[in-house]
Structure 1
Amino acid sequence: MSITFPRKFAIGGVPVTNIKEGLKSLCRTSDPGSFVGLRSVFPTLIHGSHALEIASLLGLLDDERSELTSTGRAVAHSRSVVKTELTKARAVLDQLLERFEAINGESDRLISINRVYLYGSVMRGDPLVGDIDLEIEASRGPAYANDLQGYLRDCLSFVRRFAPNYVPPVYMAESDKAMDHLVFGQRRAPILKGAVINVRNLSTIPAPCQLIYTIQNGIDRNAPILTTHPDYDPAIETSHEIPRLASIEVPNFGIPEPVDARFLSKFHRSGRVLAHDFGSPTSNLLAWLLPVHERQSSTLKVHVSSETLDPAFPKRGGLTDDLSPKGTIVLTAEAHRSELRSFMKLERTVNMIDGALTLDLKVCDLATLQRRRTDEAHTNSLAVVAAAIHVADRFHAVALNKAGDNYPIEATVTTASSVPDAIGPLIQQFGSKISGSLDS
């Protein structure tokens, strides 16, 4: 039993297939930067950041966002399928059970179908189901109980009726192939992909199930639903890394938070912001804006903790106090060929005001740490990065809002009295350009 989603299913505006690819990348690397920076899936880091936030809200990532939770692993290995009406699924199941009766009715049968357990969405009676989850217990037919070699010989002969050139790749492979063909026919129906033969996973997980067929008593569609498989023992540890989950609950996302600002640096420890991480300058406006406004060769960084700030930056106006990935952050720019250093302190909040969501980016401080230099030495490049963060917060909030309460949204940029008045409009100007490129 695995999680299945309808084709083109999206959560918070993100296709589940995109979330799956991001999870698989993070699983390989233990690096959330590989998730947000997956260019084959996400057009920009802003799209990737939103998807990462959705994954976190769904409980698919641990607190550090470096490992998948058990639910995250289940989603990473989920399938997107066309959902089938319950009545049609039950009709397919009925035909399969009748097939089992016919198999067991033959005295010289190659295999016996001993027990069949039903679990998952069909057992629960969900109106729409992805597939039929069955655990089928089968064995050699009575005539072969003490004749393994004769059984394998006849299995191979049976398989070669429909695959004349078949050669077993490993020992007893002909048995599995013959059993699969006898149980499901030459072509298994897609809705039966959740059915397994002699795998015995159900006895290792605490999943409800229903014994709907036995060789002794035949079909029992009204069998009681058991809390777990009779052989399940919670004290026994298993090696199954992928949980067998039938579904996940999509929560009401509520009022969104700002995104984790570390997406700008692809979660690199240094916080370094690189223009080429955003994509090709020919197709991505943000990647084009940064080099244009970096008039001096400089290093841009985003800081969500005072620990990453260079000691040369003073504790000016609480510069290193109360920094957090989703709250107050500091942007810095440092020229490579001089000691020119600039910083911009940003405070990000989301509030409900008069029935509307207000996303505010406040520039609390802006300064350049070198004599005979104005505070505007790195202003444009810092403003581009600030705009990208503000756009990401709005992009995330709008997507969640559409999937939830659909409140009016207002995005504002404000400045402290010590910051030049022109900074707010400059960030808004860059933000409009970046937003426009996301929508196009």
Structure 2
Amino acid sequence: MGISFDRETRIAGYRPATFKNGLSGYLRTYDPGRLIDLTSLFPLRRDGAIMFEECLDRGLIDPDTLKVTDQGMVMVRAKVVARTPNAKARAALERFLDRVDALNRDPEAMSRVDEVWLFGSLMREEPNVGDIDLAIARSSDPRFKDLDDRVKHARKLIAIYPEAPQSWTFPWDRIDWLYRRAIFGPRREPLLAGVQDGLTDLASLGVPCRLIYDRARGGRVDDPILPRHPSSPGRSNEVDPLPEMPDLTPATLRPMDARWLTGYDNRGRVSPYDIYRGWTDDCHKLFPDYPEHLRIATDSADLSRFPWLPRSLKQKGLDGRSAVAIMSATDYWGTCITLHRAFAGTEQAPTLEARFSDLLLHRSRKNVDLATLPEMAAATALILAVDAERCLRRQIESGTAPHLTIRILNGTLPDTMRNYFVTELASLLETRAVAIEPARIRSSVRIELA
């Protein structure tokens, strides 16, 4: 008995298995950079970054300690299965009970099913179930005088089953195999994968349950639901509490930590190859040249090996979300600007606002080195595009038509920055040199310069 997610469920557009497997990988390292670069899960680094942000916003990873929460562990342990309509699950249960009846009527059988107890989602009459939770009380037919006699009879019976194993660890394993073959058939239905042999676990769980089959009373019965099994004194302290379906309601949308662009590298280096998983056409479209002088910096950045430490980094306040420094510099020239982001408006008509402050120049008092601006514009465009994609994914999940405005505020930037940085940034977004929409999703995204 556990938590199961329907394979068709989507969380921010991703399958539950992506979160389950991503969190499992994260538990091995607790390194966000390694998580978002799990190439077996995420086609692009941006996918991993969005998933990580959703884990933070949905209580699966603690945003302060970056540890997986109890809710996150429920997700890790959950099963991802096709949910089955109640009526179909009921039909599977009836087929199972038919086989139990046949076993109990078979004069050659060595095992008998005395009781079948139902608990879990099917007992609660949920419209869709992940599996059928059953506990079975089983006994041996009393006509056999000892175990040797039963094993001898099992050898004779099993000869008619060509699919039976050819070797056995213990002689009495044949008895168990014949029993399972009788009640589950040639192939066990996936819905019955978690059937418990014995009532010990059910009693230890101390959960509501209902007797649905009693051999002493002739077979199927329609008993009422009990608060727990009659032999249960309550939940055992040695049994973990039953998991509850995690509340995956997301927190209010906020800009992503821009350090995802660097793989959370504390030196702020940007590798397009790692972002795009190779030198793809999309990669070359945004970064025609390798941005070796580009850095994305926050308060925690280590720029000890960078040729310039802008004044804005000496002042605190660059958290990577509301404010992040974007710079390009060598020993001889450099430009640094602070990007500020915020979401405004309503869920139905959101706006991602971007503005700039603290323009700083290295070894120059007035003239901006134009060579620094293309890679800075490309990095800024990518940051805004992925913020926008996450917003669109949230809207799709909530059933809202995907719609967004990206408003870029010029503020007090000099003409050089407006003409060669802001205009280029808007063009990259407008022409989709960097993708904004999730794959195969049509949306309305408007780019505004203000």
Same fold (TM over 0.5): yes
The whole-number CA distance in structure 2 between the counterparts of 1:164 and 1:396 is 52
The whole-number CA distance in structure 2 between the counterparts of 1:19 and 1:68 is 12
Residue identity opposite 1:161 in structure 2: I
Which whole-Å deviations, capped at 9, do the CAs of 1:362-389 have from their partners, x for residues lacking one?
A: 2223323334873545222222111111
SS in 2 for 1:166: coil
Alignment partner for residue 422 of structure 2, among 421, 424, 432?
424
Match of residue 313 from structure 1: 309
Q: Map of 1:251-262 to 2, 5 A cutoff?
A: 251=249, 253=250, 255-262=252-259
For structure 1, list consecutive stretches of 5 or more residues without a partner in the other structure: none
Q: Map of 1:272-351 to 2, 5 A cutoff?
A: 272-283=269-280, 285-286=282-283, 289-290=286-287, 292=289, 294=291, 297-298=292-293, 300-304=294-298, 306-310=299-303, 313-316=309-312, 320-335=315-330, 338=331, 342-351=335-344
Return closer, same or farther for 1:109/1:436 CA change in 2, 3 Å cut-off.
Answer: closer
Alignment partner for residue 351 of structure 2, among 345, 358, 372?
358
1:402 aligns with 2:396: yes
Which whole-Å deviations, capped at 9, do the CAs of 1:319-352 have from their partners, x for residues lacking one?
A: 64223243222234454xx375543311110111
Which range moved further: 430-439 or 132-141?
430-439
Residue identity opposite 1:148 in structure 2: L
Report sequence identity in percent: 23
Return closer, same or farther for 1:378/1:246 CA change in 2, 3 Å cut-off.
Answer: same
Residue identity opposite 1:364 in structure 2: S
| 8 Å CA contact retained: 1:20, 1:75 | yes
The whole-number CA distance in structure 1 between the counterparts of 2:157 and 2:323 is 70
The whole-number CA distance in structure 1 between the counterparts of 2:87 and 2:170 is 40
The whole-number CA distance in structure 2 between the counterparts of 1:19 and 1:216 is 47
Which whole-Å deviations, capped at 9, do the CAs of 1:124-171 have from their partners, x for residues lacking one?
A: 111222321222233443345x73344445445544432355212467
The whole-number CA distance in structure 1 between the counterparts of 2:135 and 2:157 is 24
Return closer, same or farther for 1:115/1:61 CA change in 2, 3 Å cut-off.
Answer: farther
Q: Map of 1:23-102 to 2, 5 A cutoff?
A: 23-63=23-63, 66-102=66-102
Which whole-Å deviations, capped at 9, do the CAs of 1:156-190 have from their partners, x for residues lacking one?
A: 55444323552124675444433321221122223
Return closer, same or farther for 1:165/1:203 CA change in 2, 3 Å cut-off.
Answer: closer
SS in 1 for 2:388: helix
For structure 2, list consecutive stretches of 5 or more residues without a partner in the other structure: 441-450
Return closer, same or farther for 1:351/1:69 CA change in 2, 3 Å cut-off.
Answer: same
Higher relative CO (CA 8 A, sep ≥ 6), structure 1 or 2?
Answer: 1
Which range moved further: 130-139 or 202-211?
202-211
Number of equivalences: 428
How far has the Cα of 1:357 moved from its partner?
0.9
- Where in structure 1 do 4 or more consecutive aligned residues deviate above 6 Å? none
| 8 Å CA contact retained: 1:368, 1:376 | no
Match of residue 223 from structure 1: 224
The whole-number CA distance in structure 2 between the counterparts of 1:399 and 1:138 is 50
Q: Map of 1:9-28 to 2, 5 A cutoff?
A: 9-28=9-28
How far has the Cα of 1:289 moved from its partner?
2.7
How far has the Cα of 1:101 moved from its partner?
3.8
Which whole-Å deviations, capped at 9, do the CAs of 1:274-322 have from their partners, x for residues lacking one?
A: 211122455352465335263xx43x44334x13253763443x86422
Residue identity opposite 1:394 in structure 2: A
The whole-number CA distance in structure 2 between the counterparts of 1:276 and 1:434 is 15
Match of residue 178 from structure 2: 178
Residue identity opposite 2:220 in structure 1: I
Return closer, same or farther for 1:164/1:175 CA change in 2, 3 Å cut-off.
Answer: closer
How far has the Cα of 1:7 moved from its partner?
3.8
Which range moved further: 6-15 or 124-133?
6-15
| 8 Å CA contact retained: 2:120, 2:133 | yes
The whole-number CA distance in structure 2 between the counterparts of 1:199 and 1:222 is 17
How far has the Cα of 1:8 moved from its partner?
3.4
